[in-house]
Amino acid sequence: MRTHQHLKLTPEEYLAQERSAEFKSEYYHGKIYAMSGASREHNQISSNITASLVVKLLDKPCSVYANDMKVWIDKAHKYTYPDLIVACDPQHFEDEHTDVLLNPSVIIEILSDSTETYDRGLKFFHYQRIDSLCEYLLISQKFCHVEKYERQANNLWVYSEFHEMNDEVTINAINCKILLSEIYRKVNLKETIL
């Protein structure tokens, strides 16, 4: 991501600007960072996960938000747009606009060449500072590969990964499972991760 503004903004100024902006930007310590567009594969994966989770959560007090819901990370002084978020009741929002979520339970990022290092590094470091966050998933859009980080009681994160279409990822925070074949339906993948 690149900054497109030299002057620092307050959170209130950022939100006022962002709510009327044509393109999305993230906010970090007063600076604004433009977000790039998504590929066809990214959009298909996002749609697949959203559709699957919405159905699985119909009878649960949880909501799935894709692309346009901001998350405020108070301890990092940051507004960010995760690719997908699951939040369960009671959901807390920053204000009456209900477009800034404060307590996500699950965050899912779909990796791309331009964001992978950030999603694995600084962004995940910031996400770990959200007390409500229980699980963080990283989805490759090139290969059949899903990674999951799950917060433990001691605040350590346990890592697991999945490589096969018949692998099933259990998302314990929302008590549901999703097959990789659901995630990658209609997605053109490279044959091998090597």
**Counted domains in the chain:** 2
Q: Would you state the pLDDT for residue 32?
A: 93
Residue 43 clears pLDDT 70, i.e. is over it: yes
Mean pLDDT of the chain: 93
Q: Are 98 and 134 in a shared domain?
A: yes
Q: How confident is the model at residue 3 (pLDDT cuts 50, 70, 90)?
A: very low
Half-sphere exposure in the Cβ direction for 11 (13 Å, CA)? 14
Q: For residue range 171-186, what is the model confidence (pLDDT) as tens digits?
A: 999 999 999 999 999 9
Residue 81 has pLDDT above 70, yes or no: yes
Query: Does residue 148 share a domain with residue 59?
Result: yes
Per-residue model confidence (pLDDT) at position 92: 98
> Is there a single domain that holds both residue 70 and residue 163?
yes
Same domain, residue pair 140 and 96? yes
**CB within 8 A of 192, min separation 6: which ones?**
143
CA–CA gap between residue 29 and residue 42 (Å, rounded): 28
pLDDT: is 186 or 190 the higher one?
A: 186
**Residue range 97-120, pLDDT digits in tens:** 999 999 999 999 999 988 899 999
In this prediction, residues 68-90 reach a mean pLDDT of 97
Q: Are residues 31 and 46 in the same domain?
A: no
* Distance separating alpha carbons of residues 85 and 65, to the nearest angstrom: 5
**Antiparallel, parallel or unpaired: β 70-73 and 100-101:** parallel
Of the pLDDT bands very low, low, confident and very high (cuts 50, 70, 90), residue 193 is low
Range of the domain at 86: 39-183
Residues 66, 110: contact at Cβ < 8 Å? no
With a CB cutoff of 8 Å and minimum separation 6, the contacts of 130 are: 71, 73, 75, 103, 104
Mean pLDDT of 80-91: 97
Whether 15 and 96 share a structural domain: no
User: What CA–CA distance (Å, rounded) separates 104 from 117?
Assistant: 22
One domain for residues 76 and 169: yes
pTM of the model: 0.93
